[in-house]
Chain A
Amino acid sequence: MLALFLGPLFNGLFTAMVVFLFATGLTLVFGILRILNFAHGGFFMIGAYLAFSLVKTFASDTSTIAYILISIVAGIVVGLCGLVVERLVFRPLQHVDEAYSLIATYALLLISEGAVKAIWGVSFHSIMTPAALGGALIAGDLVMPVFAIFIIGLGVLCYSLLEWILQHTATGKLMKSVASDPWMAGMLGVNVPRFYAWIVVIGFFLAGLAGGLLLPNQTLSPNLASVFVVQAFGVLIVGGMGNIRGTFLASILLCVIDSYGSVIFSEVPGVFFYVAMAAMLLMRPQGLIAGARL
């Protein structure tokens, strides 16, 4: 009985947190720079591949700490890529039309896909879940993999941390002020270009980190880049144009609906995410949390 009613909820929460972890960096960059970054998926994938190589080279025993450290290293490397991308691509894009920034980030996505193919090849890879995160918890007839519980916890932790930074620290207030009026913030003495650079670096760091952390859950192939992008765009827009809280809530809403939908209509799994997304956009075009920036 439990599995019938709570199983889809649990699975939905799990995919929701996967999508949310993927979408945090995307939300941050879109919320502040107003660039819808197609390449986010590409750099997420680079993070995952980097973590894969690091695991293969240094940590054959797949301990949990090594896995987290390696994810952070992958995040830092991808963050440095972000520094270059900000300098060469995002900064010049500030002055051109939105449609062109889309095509530029799509070009970046192609480049990152090409880089992955050239460096790691086109074959499929995967790694084992760290030993401590393997296995499952069983409540009644409901089976909950420990790794899924870990990811749900991680998603909630990540959300709480970002929310705390945004609402209760000086940095967060600065971020919100730049997001709502960069010109005014510049007049008040904020170094806006440098601030943007930091945001992009953090956004890319989050992409690489998510790539590493979600690695045990993925099969690595050059298609990985475009797997989550569309879902992430969906939660970003349904959430309300780039605020973290909206993205978090929209991830949960859409993924849980999709999870139940896929159980009830088992012939067409995955469709309900997009049906719910379209319905939400039609009913609440302003997004779940309207007006709020970040």
Chain B
Amino acid sequence: MMSQASNSTWKRDAAIAAIILVVLVSLPFVTSKGIVFIAGTLALHVVFGLSWNLMFGQTGLVSFGHASFFAIGGYAFAWAAKIAPGIHPLLLFAGAGLFGSLVALIVGILALRRSIGVYFAILTLALSQIVYLLLSYIPALGREDGFTGIRRPRLSLGFTTIDLASGNNYYYFMIAMCTLLAVGLWWVMHGRMGRVFKSIQQDAERAAFLGIDVQAYRLRSFAIASGTTAIAGALYAPWLQLLTPEIAHWTFSARPILYTLLGGVQSFWGPVVGAVVFAVLEYGTRTLHGLSEIIIGSILLVVVLAFPGGLLGGLSRLRKRMNRKTIVTARPEIVR
């Protein structure tokens, strides 16, 4: 029964992912460069949102400083690529992710020991402000002007070498990497570790009573999510070819929170839906000064007040209500 259920989720999610991938891969053939750029950035934001929801929806940790790990990954990649251009780019991406995880581990060992809930949120907020300020002061990282001149690397795969700087190569590379990261997150969420996370989210005290080392698992969740985001940040650096401290600002940390709550916390696809809706809103209102914020803000407000489970939560509630109606109408037939 249990394996059957997860089997069908697996098939459904794979089908949805396949459709999204087909759309993303065919985009460069059918639309303009601007849209392709937005889609590539959106893919990174999706990973950003999904990894945040691993902490929040799955483990019950509210981080307000997720953007700092995005920035740490991006800057680590850019800096390492500059001082050691010989290193294989895949190693650099992995290194950036590991570095992000390491920072998360150090922070987490201190922060998760005593503080949880709103304290953890504010503590991660303080951390992200420190990262933001340091990035805008360190001369080697370009200060407030940002880290400029980040090149898209050449990717040697043994049998062939792909120049990521030419054409849409980097876009495809990024889509492939984001898919890998998203699959990795899906696998973590639906595996044994994910179920342990979920038990902690639902009742940490009871989980501890069952012999789960709550703190160690919270730390794992935090490190995995931060490492994944750091890789997304590292992918972002050559994509934009410029990094500014703004990507560590707390308003950017608010993004994955918005995506997740807008789309729906309970579903894997919630942050994806949220990020897409947000990107569409932003693109649609980009020329309206001031009105853009008013429209985005109002829609967020309406969603939060009218569908507390996010868009997907609202949808599933609607479907349940429809199902109930069909059952009610079906009953007389059974009686007869």
Contacts and interface: CB of A to CB of B under 8 A. Distances in A.
A117 B294 CA distance: 10
A86 interface: no
Nearest to A276: B126
Given A103-B258, A271-B130, A118 B300 contact: no
Given A114-B292, A270-B133, A108 B111 contact: no
A137 interface: no
A118 B290 contact: yes
A285 interface: yes
B293 A111 contact: yes
B246 to A, nearest CB: 11
Contact of A285 (B56, B119, B261, B289): B119
B42 to A, nearest CB: 19
Contacts of A111: 293-294, 297-298, 301
Contacts of A271: 130, 133-134, 137
A217 interface: no
Contacts of B297: 107-111, 114
Interface in B108-145: 110-111, 114-115, 118-119, 122-123, 125-127, 129-130, 133-134, 137
Contact of B126 (A119, A268, A274): A274
Contact of B293 (A102, A114, A233): A114
Contacts of B85: none
Contact of B115 (A110, A241, A281): A281
A116 B250 CA distance: 20
Given A102-B257, A104-B301, A233-B125, A285 B250 contact: no
A117 B291 CA distance: 8
Contacts, number: 121
B61 to A, nearest CB: 11
B191 interface: no
Contact of B137 (A109, A114, A267): A267
B259 to A, nearest CB: 10
A272 B6 CA distance: 49
A290 to B, nearest CB: 12
Given A110-B293, A114-B294, A234 B126 contact: yes
Contacts of B126: 234, 274, 277-278, 281
A230 B129 contact: yes
A103 B261 contact: yes
A262 to B, nearest CB: 11
Contacts of B133: 268, 270-271, 274
Given A104-B304, A114-B296, 18 more contacts: A100-B308, A102-B257, A104-B301, A106-B258, A106-B300, A107-B296, A107-B301, A110-B296, A113-B290, A115-B294, A230-B129, A267-B137, A271-B134, A271-B137, A277-B122, A281-B115, A281-B126, A285-B115
